[in-house]
Amino acid sequence: MNKEHNPVGRPRNEQARTAILNAVDDLLFEVGYAAMTMKGISERAGVSRQTVYRWWSHKAEILFEASAADAEEELAISLSGDPLDDITAYLEALLRFLAHSLAGAAYRALLGEAQHDSVVAELLSAKDPLGDSARVVIERALGKDTLPVPLEQATALLIGPSFFWILSGRDPAQLVPRELAENFIHGLQARQSR
């Protein structure tokens, strides 16, 4: 009733699907995004090339599907109630994600690709783990209605500095999440009190 009602023929092999997603994860770690090829993925997954192409068009899509859930999870934090603590915790998670996590490496690779491949750009704009997680944290920690700037801009103020720092190749150890959090909150308050 609720499924494709008459899926005639042999059903999709779920083992093949997960083997491919795992292969992509492994290869990202082992050889990097650039050296990752559709051929390599299929061979690593022990799957025919056609099977990969049947379900995904680009390696970006596979990588996106393979890492999206991890990204969401890694960027979700439990709130304490204290705004400064919460923002700090979020920035710590963000830095960990961007600089040290495999899902974050996948995200950076995809975002890099998106700069010169509109298909990947569209993929990313459809599901935006950074923006989504930041929106949630800001709403919960600071309140949606008391924000002196639109929520979307606030996410950019929150994410931007760390994002730039990591993507421009700077050392993540030089960044202090608590200071960034203070700066973010005080900046908004300064605007508010004018």
Partner DNA sequence: GTGTAATCGAGACGGTACGTCCTGTCTTCGG
Partner DNA sequence: CCGAAGACAGGACGTACCGTCTCGATTACAC
Note whether 130 binds a copy of itself by CB under 8 A: yes
**For residues 185 and 149, is the Cβ–Cβ distance under 8 A?**
no
Considering the complex, what minimum distance in angstroms separates the CB of residue 28 from a copy of itself? Answer: 9
**For residues 188 and 147, is the Cβ–Cβ distance under 8 A?**
yes
Question: In terms of CB distance, is 16 or 66 closer to DNA?
Answer: 16
Residue 39 contact among DNA, a copy of itself, none, beta carbon within 5 to 8 Å by kind = DNA
Question: In terms of CB distance, is 49 or 144 closer to a copy of itself?
Answer: 49
Backbone angles phi, psi at 17, to 5 degrees: -60, -50
Q: What angle do CA 175, 124, 147 make, to 5 degrees?
A: 60
Q: How far apart are CA 107 and CA 98, in angstroms?
A: 8
Candidate list 38, 68, 96, 112; residue touching a copy of itself; CB under 8 A? 112
Question: In terms of CB distance, is 55 or 164 closer to DNA?
Answer: 55
CB atoms under 10 Å from CB of 118, counted, come to 9
**For residues 62 and 52, is the Cβ–Cβ distance under 8 A?**
yes
Note whether 26 binds DNA by CB under 7 A: no
Question: In terms of CB distance, is 62 or 109 closer to a copy of itself?
Answer: 109
Q: Is 43 helix (H, G, I), strand (E, B) or coil?
A: helix
Note whether 49 binds DNA by CB under 7 A: yes
Candidate list 28, 47, 105, 137; residue touching DNA; CB under 7 A? 47
Candidate list 76, 111, 147, 151; residue touching a copy of itself; CB under 8 A? 111
Q: How far apart are CA 47 and CA 122, in angstroms?
A: 28
Q: How far apart are CA 183 and CA 189, in angstroms?
A: 10
Give the footprint of a copy of itself on this chain (CB under 8 A): 32-34, 108-109, 111-117, 121, 124-125, 128, 130-131, 149, 152-153, 156-157, 159-165, 167-170, 174-175, 179, 182-184, 186-191, 194
